Amino acid sequence: MRQRTRKFIGIILTFIFLAFYALVMMAVGARIFGSEPSGFTQLAFYVVAGAGWLPVAMLIIKWMARPDPD
Give per-residue pLDDT as tens, 5-40.
999 999 999 999 999 999 999 999 888 887 777 788
Q: What is the pLDDT of residue 38?
A: 79
More confident residue, 50 or 37: 50
> How far from the centroid of its chain's Cα atoms is residue 5's Cα?
21
Residue ranges of domains in the chain: 3-64
CA dihedral 23, 43, 40, 55 (to 10 degrees): 100
Q: What is the pLDDT of residue 1?
A: 87
Q: What is the pLDDT of residue 11?
A: 96
State the amino acid at position 22 in one-letter form: A
User: Is 2 in contact with 66 (CB distance < 8 Å)?
Assistant: no
Instruction: Write down the pTM of the prediction.
Output: 0.81
Half-sphere exposure of 4 toward its Cβ, with a 13 Å CA cutoff?
A: 0
- Kindly tell me if the per-residue pLDDT of 42 is higher than 90: no
